[in-house]
Amino acid sequence: MRLLTPQHPARLVAIGFALAVAVGTVLLMLPIATESGDSAPPVTALFTATSAVCVTGLVVVDTGSYWSTFGELVILALIQVGGLGIMTLASLLGLLVARRMGLRMQLVAQAETKSLRLGESKRVVVGVIALSLAVEAVIAAVLTGRFLTGYDESFGRALYLGIFHSVSAYNNAGFSLYPDSLVPFATDLWIIAPIVVGFVFGGLGFPVMFEAGRHLLHWLRRAEERITGWSLHTKITVWTYAGLALLGAVSITAIEWSNAATLGPLDGVGKLVTGVFAGLSPRTAGFNSIDVGAMHPSSLLITDMLMFVGGGSAGTAGGIKVTTFALLAFVVIAEVRGEPSVHVVGRKLAPAVQRQAITVVLLGAGAVIVGTLAIMLMTEYRLEVVMFEVVSAFATVGLSTGITADLPAGAQVLLVVLMFIGRLGPITLATALALRERTRRYEYPEERPIVG
The dihedral region occupied by 38, where left means phi > 0, alpha psi between -120 and 50, and beta the remainder, is beta
User: What's the maximum distance between 2 C-alpha atoms anywhere in the chain?
Assistant: 75
pLDDT recorded at residue 93: 58
Q: Per residue of the chain (452 residues), what is the pLDDT tens digit?
A: 344 444 455 667 778 888 999 999 999 999 999 999 999 999 999 999 999 999 999 999 999 999 999 999 999 999 998 888 776 765 565 555 555 434 333 333 333 223 344 455 667 677 778 888 899 999 999 999 999 999 999 999 999 999 999 999 999 999 999 999 999 999 999 999 999 999 998 888 777 777 777 766 666 665 544 445 677 888 888 899 999 999 999 999 999 999 999 999 999 999 999 999 999 999 888 899 999 999 999 999 999 999 999 988 767 788 898 989 999 999 999 989 988 888 887 788 888 788 888 888 998 999 999 999 999 999 999 999 999 999 999 999 999 999 999 999 999 999 999 999 888 776 665 555 555 555 667 677 877 777 66
**Interhelix angle for 118-150 vs 69-101, to 10°?**
150
Alpha carbon distance 433, 32 (integer Å)? 44
Count of C-beta atoms within a 10 Å radius of residue 242: 12
The model scores a pTM over 0.95: no
CB 129 within 8 A of CB 81: no
Tell me phi and psi for residue 25, to 5 degrees: -65, -45
Residue count (the chain): 452
Alpha carbon distance 97, 433 (integer Å)? 10
From the list 256, 315, 263, 255, the residue with the least C-alpha distance to 284 is: 315
Alpha carbon distance 34, 48 (integer Å)? 12
pLDDT recorded at residue 222: 59
Task: Mark out the alpha helices in 115-266 (DSSP H runs).
Answer: 118-150, 155-170, 189-204, 206-221, 232-256
Burial per residue of 266-280, b for 16 or more beta-carbon CB atoms within 10 angstroms, e otherwise: beeeebbbbbbbbbb
